[in-house]
Every structure is written in structure tokens, then in C-alpha cells.
Amino acid sequence: MLPTSPVVRGLSVGERFLPDGAAPAAWLAARRDALRERVVRLRHDDVELTATLGEAGVEVDVDETLAAARRVGHEGPWARRLREARGARRGEIDVPLTWAVDEPRARAFLERLAPQIYRAPVDARLDLANRRKIPEQAGRALDVEASLAALRAGEHGDEELIELAVRQILPQVVVADLVSVDVTRVVAAYETKFKHHGKEAGRARNIRNAASKIDGTILAPGDTFSFNAHVGPRTAKNGFTIAPEILGDETVPGYGGGTCQVSSTLYAASLFGALDTPDRQSHSRPSAYIPMGLDAMVTYPESDLKIKNTLPFPIMIHAYLPEPTVLRVEILGGDPVAEVQHHVSAEHTDDFIRRIYVKSELAEGKVKRHQKGSCGYDVRSFVTVRYKDGRASERSYSSEYRPAPEVFWVAPDYDPQALPALSEHAKAVEELREGESPAEAPAAAGQGGAYSM
């Protein structure tokens, strides 16, 4: 007997039998909603992620699945229809689920995954201290369109694994390029000093770590160097340790303190080497290790230092410690192309305050000066470049340094009147009890996070 109902009796859809008397569309809609929670794994190489099909924008296409189910026993010659109807009643026919991908939603989902797949390329570099070449490493980025195609092609069964597609990112410098730099000639160099004992040991370790990550970097003519791309996040996993850094207008412990001394020393060397600096920002306060106007504040990933090789030959950054307390950055590859002069005009803009914190953990009568105060300044740097071929150029740029408070920590019983007299540039006193916050503590250079000194 040929079937008369829209879906033949006993038909299996997606390996589930359609219950007798059930409305096929409603039954499929309920299955669609349940299957949105099915877990799918997405993998590439060393990264494996999980999500639900619904999060990935994948779900059962109720209309298409129902249309396929209705064709069984209802289309073609009567003999085939009869054969299909009998087969369905015997449980021999299964209509697979038809899946649909919401492409805008799936694309947005994959783009959210992209940072977890991304690996930056690593340029080849010379380890000058150990006289060895460190080969390049290609990077990778998620290929959203190809991964979307893999998602469309999936069967979306239990424990499904989708292989994500990536595209290779080639490094700018390969091992073959290393021989092109004349490392016997110095374009420019700059040195800064630091301490490495006691509470300064963390800063010293971070300076060595950051310097090692940029040492041996090669820039071909026209290439641009990114400090953050080479040094990476300031985390324990990346070799950094806890040291003082600046948060708001005070120093606090955090990972990476000292990294900015490396970026500042590099910036000064590049300036005196007549290189371009597309991206540089000053600290929120003057730095003790370098003159005002020559510092370069970096935070990861927000604030970067970028240097462009405008010279007609490839150069190498050589960052190392010639002495345990000296950081030296050299720009290698040729003779100096210019004589560069840098001078500043500094205008005192604001005095600082004395801030007193009551600390219950301090022993009776104890006091500690946590931070030295500093005034605010507006600084204008003037750079004159006189090239060996007779050309000359001048430029200027600004650096703004805000006042930093003088900070004392005192025990609850300590009389603030017993503190040393206010210095010439301390304009006021702010006393804070336990748990109180400063009335004004501007974030570093417009950023909400901390940055290393």
C-alpha cells in the first residue's frame, strides 16, 4: 500500500525514529534546539578548542531535513515508493540531518578564536655572544574563510573534530639575510646604567631578558621594528619577573619592571643613528636612567616603540650588557650617516604633593618613604641631523611628564607632623587612612594599565 501521510511510518531521521503520531516539523525543531548544545572540537596543531554547535553558528536545517524525509515513499515510480514505504516500516531507511551554517555568526565566532591560533613570525637573528645563527620561524594566522568551509563540510556528529585552516606568515628576515649585515661597523650606540642588587635585582633580570629578545634583530632598508612584537608579553612564562612599575602616579610591584629601560636605550640609539621612529611615547614621569625626551614608554600590547630603517643598508640591533650594570644598544651595519644633536627645552608645569598612607601592618612608630616626588614638565625635544652628504634636517617633538607624589607609609600611631619638612616643590599634603584611594591618580600616558620603568 502506498503511503498517504506526509512522512512514511517508521522512518528514521538522523538516526532517530519519528514517533507515531508526532508532528514531524515540531519534532525536528525540538531536535534542532537540543543539538545546538552538542560539543564540537576545533583544532590546529598544538591548540584545541571546544564550543557548542550553536556557538559556532551551526544548527539543523528543519525545512531541508523535513523536505528530504517527505520525499521517501512519495516520489518516483509507484514500485519504488512502495519499496521505500515497506523499508521504512522495517526500520531500514534513515534520512540524515541537513545542517545549516549561519555564516555571519560562524565568521564572528572564528574571528574570536583567531587570537588563540595566531603565532607571530620570528625573524632569524645572530646570537653575537655565542657566535651562532638563530633560524627564522614562520608564523601563522587563522584562515577564517577556509575554516568556515571546513565547518560547512562537517557532519556534526558526536565528538566531532574540525581541523582549522591557517595561513602562513613569513618572517621578514631569514638566515640567508644575516650575512648581509656588516657587524664590524657601528652606526650609533647608547648606554644606560642600572643597579642589580637587592630590590633592584628584578629590574636587572627583566632588562637582561628584554635585551636578549631584541639582540641580533636585522632590519632591511625600509623595514619597521616593533618592540612589543619582539619582546612579547611581560609574563613569568616569557621570562619576566616582578619588579617596580608605574600604575597611575605611583610605583607598584608588577611583571616586567625595567623593560622600558631597554626600549628607551634602543630609542636613543636609533635617534642618534638618524633612523625614523613612527611610534614612540614618553613616560608619565622623568626616568632616572636617561635624559628627558629620550625615554620610550612601552606596555604590552597597548603602547609600542617602532623604529624604521631609513638607511640604504641593512642594520642589526645589538643589545647587550658590557658590564653587569650597563645596558648598551648598538645599531650595526655601516658607518654613521649623520651627526645628530638632541637638546631639550623643559618648562616646569606643576609641583607635586606629599601623600601619606596609614599602613596597619607597620610596626609601632615605623615610617617608610615609598616613593620620591617629582615635578611635572612639558618638554620639547629638538633634533638636528647633518648628513655626511651635506644634507641637513631639523625636527621637534614633545614629551609630557606629570608630577608624581612623594609617598610615605606610616604606622597607625605615627604623627605625620614628625615627617621631614616639605621640600621646595611639594605643594600640599594628602593623608589617606586604611583602604582610602587617592583623589587623583591619572593612568599612565592615557592607559589604564601599569607600565615598566
Same domain, 266 and 375: no
What's the pLDDT score for residue 180?
84
Q: Can you give the pLDDT at residue 101?
A: 97
Distance CA 294, CA 298 (A): 13
Q: What's the per-residue H, E or C state across 12-52?
A: EECCEECCCCCCHHHHHHHHHHHHCCCEEEEEECCEEEEEE
Residue 448's pLDDT is what?
42
Residue 95 covered by a domain: yes
Q: Does position 445 have pLDDT exceeding 70, yes or no?
A: no
- The answer to whether residue 108 scores a pLDDT higher than 90 is yes
pLDDT at residue 426 in the model: 92
Same domain for 365 and 378, yes or no, is yes
Instruction: Kindly provide the residue ranges of all beta strands, DSSP E only, lying in 53-142, ordered along the sequence.
Output: 58-60, 94-95, 99-101, 125-127, 132-134, 139-142
Q: Are residues 230 and 321 in the same domain?
A: yes
Residue 444 falls inside a structural domain: no
**pLDDT for residue 12 is more than 80:** yes
- Report d(CA 168, CA 103) in Å as an integer: 24
Decide which of 144, 176, 208 is a domain's last residue: 176
Mean pLDDT of 66-88: 92
For the chain, percent of residues with pLDDT exceeding 70: 95
Cell 630590590, located at residue: 199
Q: Which of 336, 367, 401 is the last residue of a domain?
A: 336
Does the residue 413 lie in any domain? yes
Q: Are residues 27 and 103 in the same domain?
A: yes
- Assigned domain for 441 exists: no
Structural domain count of the chain = 3
Interval 183-199: pLDDT, tens: 889 999 999 999 999 88
Residue where a domain terminates, one of 287, 311, 336: 336
Residue 232 sits in the same domain as residue 326: yes
Exposure letters 98-108 (e unless 16+ CB within 10 A, then b)? bbbbeeeebbe
Residue 178 has pLDDT above 60, yes or no: yes
Comparing 1-5, 38-42, 57-61, 340-344, which segment has the lowest mean pLDDT? 1-5
pLDDT at residue 283 tops 60 = yes
Q: Is residue 194 part of a domain?
A: yes
Tell me which residue range forms the domain holding 415.
339-436
Q: Establish whether the linkage from the previous residue to 301 is cis, with ω within 30° of 0.
A: yes
- Given a cut of 90, whether residue 30 has pLDDT beyond it is yes
Same domain, yes or no, for 397 and 409?
A: yes
Across 104-124, average pLDDT: 94
Strand (E) or helix (H) holding 208: helix 201-214
Report pLDDT for 142: 97
Q: Kindly indicate the confidence band of residue 125, based on its pLDDT and cuts at 50, 70 and 90.
A: confident
Residue 325 CA, chain-centre distance (Å), reads 29
Looking at mean pLDDT, say which of 169-173, 252-256, 407-411 comes out highest: 407-411
pLDDT of residue 373: 93
Q: What does pLDDT average to over the chain?
A: 91
Same domain, 322 and 367: no
In this structure, are residues 430 and 378 in contact, taking their beta carbons and an 8 Å threshold? no
Is 47 contained in some domain?
yes
My answer on whether 208 and 157 are in the same domain is no
Q: What would you measure as the largest C-alpha separation in the chain, in angstroms?
A: 107
* Structural domain includes residue 443: no
Consecutive H or E run containing 320:
strand 315-323
324 and 357 assigned to the same domain:
no
Phi, psi of 179 (to 5 degrees): -75, -10
| Among the listed residues 318, 269, 324, the one whose alpha carbon sits nearest the alpha carbon of residue 128 | 318
Same structural domain for residues 189 and 47? Answer: no
Whether residue 262 is found in the same domain as residue 391: no
User: Model pTM?
Assistant: 0.70
**Is residue 69 situated within a structural domain?**
yes
Alpha carbons 241 and 258: distance in angstroms, whole number = 10
Secondary structure (3-state) at 278? strand
Q: Are 139 and 168 in contact (CB under 8 A)?
A: yes
User: Is residue 371 located within the same domain as residue 222?
Assistant: no
Determine how many CB atoms are found less than 10 A away from the CB of residue 124. 20
Q: Which of 1-10, 69-78, 146-155 has the highest mean pLDDT?
A: 146-155
Query: What is residue 359's predicted lDDT score, i.e. its pLDDT?
Result: 92
**Residue 11 pLDDT > 60:** yes
Mean pLDDT within 229-256: 90
Mean per-residue pLDDT for 359-378?
Answer: 93
- Please tell me whether residue 393 adopts helix, strand or coil conformation: strand
Is the predicted pLDDT of residue 327 greater than 70, yes or no? yes
* Higher local confidence (pLDDT), 446 or 80: 80
Residue 77 confidence (pLDDT) above 50: yes
Confidence class of residue 452 from pLDDT cuts 50, 70 and 90? low
pLDDT band (50, 70, 90) for residue 453:
low
